[in-house]
Amino acid sequence: MAQHDIKDIVIVGGGTAGWLTANIIAARFCPEKGRGLQVTLVESPNVPTVGVGEGTWPSMRTTLKDIGIAEADFIRSCDASLKQGTWFKDWITTGDTPYYHPFSLPEGFDTVNLAEHWLAGAAGNVPFAEAVTPQYAVCELGRAPKQIGIPNYAYTVNYGYHLDAGKFAALLTKNATEKLGVKHLHADVVSVNTDENGYITGVVTEQAGEICGDLFIDCSGFQSLLLGQHYGTEQVSVESILFNNAAVAVQVPYPDETTPIATTTHSTAQKNGWVWDIGLQHRRGVGHVFSKDFQSHEETLQVLDQYLKDTGRSKGLEDLNPRLLSFDPGYREKFWVKNCLGIGLSAGFIEPLEASALVLVELSAAALANQMPRDRSDMTVIADRFNREFEGRWSQIIDFLKLHYVLSKRDDSAYWTRNRAPASIPDTLQENLIVWANRAPWYHDDLRRDEMFPAASYQYVLYGMGFESRLTFDALRSSEDKRSMAKQLFAETQKKAQKYGQFLPPTRFLMNQIREQDFARI
């Protein structure tokens, strides 16, 4: 059997998914480093990118560092700000007290399960996140997660980013082509050539002829030119679990350049969906996610207009050119078929709650880089492993997002009551809710080191939304040493909160420092 060595990788589609994938692969295998793989990205000059993925997880810091982009350059080029988690409002009931899902783990997370001691009342009558992490206070005060003197990608409290997706794609393009040897072709794919075994040998383009390769990565967005259209890979719909299938998005200018920048994504529940609100340096990105089965486009515009007025923009939607985005929530039944791998929207999309889209691109590209096949002899095995791994990741995303809806007590619309209907709740989530009712989740529940949503994330949402867990026998019999350690950690959290509130700068202040001064370290 011919070996078909992997030498040329062709990525079909640009945007954030395509260019982030190109950077991750090329940084590991670019010819300049003598590793023998050529990456070519074919980008249509006629297809606009979706361009609304503006929130990242903390993992993006490592990704940017690995592909050779300095943090100050990234922040300046992409009008980025520092995101410390998500702030939730009206998810429990209308007019509720907001809660946080911060990026920092609870203090002493691998030593003591503070959730059990918080449930027992050891921290007093304070919100869970406030009791277990100083990041709560940092966010409440609008402080940045670091100071100007802290090195690239290091931090005082954990953070990801808010960014301008179009500018991020441009920065990634420049880095990949100028530093990592990625070939960039502007061309429209019109057909696909395959061999007798169904493996893709090349994509035929209108402007550049046939582009040949050994491994093809489909980053063509919702079109899914290779994985969906060519191979006919079916999509697994999750619309019976997560109902949202559309969003209206707008870009909202600040009143002036001194307006504070929100240090978290704001997620505010509405009658038939929710509104995201993220703060960049130069504007807010705001959008209403909803289900067309429960609310019309026109009604959504009215809700979004009122939200903008309620949050300080007197003109509401006037002059903002809202964009309607429709999607079928779900993912491909396989992500890797033959020598074709789908990454980004071509592999699937579920509503943007908890911002999982970009981290899936990071994880997919990193998984490919870590398991890069040498030739077709091991590609089938690697593809099967990849498919199993990412089917599990998508299932976990679905469970975690659904948890937010299941815990809600809202009853002001059929949207919310049906979201709690047992038939709409995955069996795996129902099983976990039974377990969590009898004990608080902890780090030993995580099945893998790089869980998308570790036990701490479940704790923040469960107890932020008022879920009650009984204390386990072990917790009831907890030794005095453990109780003393927990009380010490609660006290230490409050000390750090006070300290950080004093020396961490406002987010806007730090962003201005980075933009205006040439710091080698930030």
Element (H, E) at 28: helix 15-29
More confident residue, 376 or 71: 71
Phi, psi torsion values for 101, nearest 5 degrees: -115, 90
Listed ranges 61-75, 430-444, 461-475, 504-518; the one with the highest mean pLDDT: 61-75
The answer on 347 and 386 residing in a single domain is yes
The answer on 336 and 228 residing in a single domain is yes
Q: Give the pLDDT band (50/70/90) at residue 522.
A: very low
What SS3 class is residue 192? strand
Single-letter code of the amino acid located at 249:
A
**Residue 65 falls within a domain, yes or no?**
no
pLDDT at 199 over 50: yes
**Residue 438 falls within a domain, yes or no?**
yes
Joined together, the tokens standing for residue 392 give 């599990």
Q: What share of the chain is helix, strand, coil (3-state, %, to 5)?
A: 40, 20, 40
Sheet holding 340-342, edge to edge: 183-186, 38-43, 8-12, 215-218, 340-342, 336-337
Q: Residue 12's domain is classified under what CATH number?
A: 3.50.50.60
What average pLDDT does this structure show over 320-345? Answer: 97
pLDDT at 320 over 50: yes
State the Cα–Cα distance between residues 159 and 196, nearest whole angstrom. 49
End residue of a domain, out of 392, 413, 442 = 392
**Residue 522 falls within a domain, yes or no?**
no
Phi, psi torsion values for 309, nearest 5 degrees: -65, -40
Relative to beta strand 38-43, strand 183-186 is: parallel
Percent share of the chain, pLDDT over 90: 86
Q: Give the pLDDT band (50/70/90) at residue 519.
A: very low
The confidence score (pLDDT) of residue 516 equals 83
What average pLDDT does this structure show over 413-418? Answer: 98
pLDDT at 32 over 80: no
What average pLDDT does this structure show over 71-93? Answer: 97
**Residue 87 falls within a domain, yes or no?**
no
pLDDT at 451 over 60: yes
The answer on 199 and 149 residing in a single domain is no
**Residue 86 falls within a domain, yes or no?**
no
Listed ranges 122-126, 331-335, 441-445; the one with the highest mean pLDDT: 331-335
52 and 287 Cβ atoms separated by less than 8 Å: yes
The confidence score (pLDDT) of residue 240 equals 97
The confidence score (pLDDT) of residue 444 equals 79
278 and 265 Cβ atoms separated by less than 8 Å: yes
DSSP tally for the chain: helices H, then strands E: 16, 21
283 and 251 Cβ atoms separated by less than 8 Å: yes
Q: Give the pLDDT band (50/70/90) at residue 474.
A: low
Relative to beta strand 85-89, strand 336-337 is: unpaired
**Where in the sequence is the domain holding 467, given as residue range(s)?**
98-156+396-503
The answer on 336 and 232 residing in a single domain is yes
* pLDDT (tens digit per residue) in 92-128: 999 999 999 999 999 999 899 999 999 999 888 999 9
* pLDDT (tens digit per residue) in 222-255: 999 999 999 999 999 999 999 999 999 999 999 9
- How many independent structural domains does the chain possess? 3
Q: Give the pLDDT band (50/70/90) at residue 1.
A: very low
Q: Give the pLDDT band (50/70/90) at residue 36.
A: confident
The confidence score (pLDDT) of residue 482 equals 82
Element (H, E) at 398: helix 376-406
The answer on 255 and 212 residing in a single domain is no
166 and 79 Cβ atoms separated by less than 8 Å: no
Q: Residue 264's domain is classified under what CATH number?
A: 3.30.70
Q: Which residue has the tokens 């070519």?
A: 40
**Residue 340 falls within a domain, yes or no?**
yes
End residue of a domain, out of 311, 326, 341 = 326
The dihedral built from the CA positions of residue 475, 479, 483 and 485, taken in this order, carries a sign that is negative
Q: List, by residue number, the catalytic residues.
A: 83
The answer on 361 and 492 residing in a single domain is no
The answer on 119 and 107 residing in a single domain is yes
Q: How far is CA 372 from the centre of its chain?
A: 24
The confidence score (pLDDT) of residue 475 equals 60
The confidence score (pLDDT) of residue 404 equals 98
Q: How far is CA 487 from the centre of its chain?
A: 33
Q: Give the pLDDT band (50/70/90) at residue 483.
A: confident
The confidence score (pLDDT) of residue 51 equals 60
